[in-house]
Amino acid sequence: MKAIAEGLFTDETPARLIGGKDRETGRIVFPCPTASTYEPVPLASEGTLWSYTVQRFRPKSPPYAGPEAFAPWVVAYVELPGQVIVEARLNDVAFEDVKVGMPVRFAPSPLNPDLSDSPYIPAYVPAGGAA
């Protein structure tokens, strides 16, 4: 799986996002900054949906590099416990079933599912159970 940017995911299976831990304060951020004051750390693979919106129109190109046949998607803000809140897509759930507080797990997805060599982007899917 090739990530859309270098150093975004771990190589392990299942993959995890790579955050940055400030060496002085211990604060974790995402993505990991290139500054030497940050140490790369794998982030939790499960979290809770903190907030969301639905992207209902095709973003401008550039920078958008997704499929021409646009389909709306959920933009999720996922709280990784004790770490950070990250922005990513939320897949495999109907818009009307998305609920703040629902458990989710990291599951990177292709930017353009119609292309076999499409780079992968950060994404989550419902982890199951009630919110």
- Over residues 56-109, the pLDDT tens digits come to 988 887 767 777 778 899 999 999 999 999 999 999 999 999 999 999 999 999
CATH 2.40.50 fits 45-125, yes or no: yes
Q: Beta-carbon neighbour count of residue 130 at 10 Å?
A: 7
| Residue 113 pLDDT > 50 | yes
Tell me what percent of the residues of the chain surpass a pLDDT of 90: 72
Average pLDDT, the chain: 91
